[in-house]
Structure 1
Amino acid sequence: MARPVKYSLDQILDGVAVAARERGIEVSIADIAAAANVPSGSIYHRFSSRRELLVRLWLRSVRRFQEGFVRALDGDPPERAVVAAALHTPTFCRSNPMDAMGMTLFRQWELVDDAPDPCAEEVLHVNDGIDAATARLVERLRGFRDERSYGLIVAATRTCPYGLVRPHVGCEIPEWIDEAVAASASAIAGLVAQ
């Protein structure tokens, strides 16, 4: 019979987040163990590598972000959903600074070919839900889905908000970011109707 798990995955990943905030991506297992208040042997026993822990933190952070993002994309009316989804980025990052930092550790396309085996399948499909929600939003805006409209909505709801917020992750995110995010999302969404 397997030993019961004494330390939760969230407790360990919280430690990864704290240690990574302080030491960056080169954080050690000893740093993680100290931050999580967990014996390093427990970490070595459960995880294949330090990289797996970092990828698991990234995945958890992305999943937490995506919950609200997908709800915003599915909102009504669709024109307002574009702006709401875009504003989710600064709002989430302000309210969840550790998850915001966790999301900056990797990019999906970087991990697809070399994610640790225990995480590979989840990495491959991590954006499936937001891709589907984006496609639904484009169809509600246009009545059909085309590559141009899809690309514009991705720019309005993901690329531009992330680009505006990313330089501020790890410090205070200025309130003016929300104005810029909303203005750019609204302007780009207007191009979809053309």
Structure 2
Amino acid sequence: MESTLQNMARPSRFDTPRLLDAAVRLAADAGPSGVTMSAVAAAVGAPSGSLYHRFPGRSALLAEVWLRTVEGFQEGYFEALESSDDPLSGARAAARHVVAWSRTHPREAALLLYGAHDFGHDDWPDEYLLRAEDGNMQVRAAMAALAGALGMHGRPALDRVTLAVIDLPLAVVRRHLRGGHPLPPHAEDLAEQCTTALLADG
């Protein structure tokens, strides 16, 4: 009885965060195709059953790897975007966050240079598709709110805002990460300058 209670209290050597961390490393090094159930299990020295106990199949694993990474990034991104009453200052902070987060999370940032479809989006179980759509709706709402706060209206204005606070900061990151190089110390400043150039006279 005592032995049983000890086993029940002992934390799992192969908990979900550890398995997902291994999957992120595999994705960063070899792309989404490198993330398989057997590869993740081997990376942490776990039996394959540890994966199937948590994920019904590879599509669910890929979905969780992608969504956990995106949601972790978005948490700080939205905080930066709303960090000031001045919408332009918030936009600049968001642009800097893209680069700063990528600097401190290079593997996760390398993963985000792909897209959800690279991680098998079309085969995701419904619960993951709903999570993904919820995140996309939050981004669209944030871009629309920023455009409105800046006094910019219409689809061209929305595209301009999205380019300024998402696409261009990611472009600053992409070239260095894809080349396997660290981000230069001026990368945050460059992202902020791009954002300002697009939005200051919007």
Shorter-chain TM-score: which interval? 0.7 to 0.9
Q: Aligned residue for 1:159?
A: 167
How far apart in 1 are the matches of 2:37 and 2:119? Answer: 22
- Aligned-residue sequence identity (percent) comes to 29
Query: In the alignment, is residue 137 of structure 1 matched against residue 158 of structure 2?
Result: no
Q: Structure 1: where are the runs of 5+ without partners?
A: none
Contact 1:152 1:188 in 2 (8 A): yes
Q: Aligned residue for 2:39?
A: 31
Ranges of 4+ aligned residues in structure 1 off by more than 6 Å: none
Distance 1:111 1:155, change over 3 A: farther
Structure 2 residue corresponding to 1:66, chosen from 74, 79, 82: 74
The TM-score normalised by the length of structure 1 is: 0.84
Of stretches 66-75 and 124-133 in structure 1, the one that deviates more from structure 2 is: 124-133
Contact 1:83 1:186 in 2 (8 A): yes
How far apart in 2 are the matches of 1:14 and 1:49? Answer: 17
Of stretches 88-97 and 125-134 in structure 1, the one that deviates more from structure 2 is: 125-134
How far apart in 1 are the matches of 2:70 and 2:33? Answer: 20
Structure 2 residue corresponding to 1:19, chosen from 12, 15, 26: 26
Amino acid corresponding to residue 13 of structure 1 in structure 2:
L
Structure 1 residue corresponding to 2:107, chosen from 72, 83, 98: 98
Q: Structure 2: where are the runs of 5+ without partners?
A: 1-7
What is the RMSD computed on CA atoms of the aligned residues?
Answer: 2.6
**Residue-by-residue CA offset, 1:109-168 (whole Å, 9 max, x unaligned):** 9865443444221122222222222222222221x7432222211110001111221122
Q: Aligned residue for 1:50?
A: 58
The secondary structure found in structure 2 opposite 1:126 is: helix
How far apart in 1 are the matches of 2:173 and 2:186? Answer: 11
Distance 1:190 1:163, change over 3 A: same
Contact 2:147 2:161 in 1 (8 A): yes
**Residue-by-residue CA offset, 1:47-79 (whole Å, 9 max, x unaligned):** 132232222111111111101111121132111
The TM-score normalised by the length of structure 2 is: 0.81
Structure 2 residue corresponding to 1:175, chosen from 152, 171, 185: 185
Higher Rg? 2
How far apart in 2 are the matches of 1:30 and 1:44? Answer: 10
Distance 1:51 1:114, change over 3 A: closer
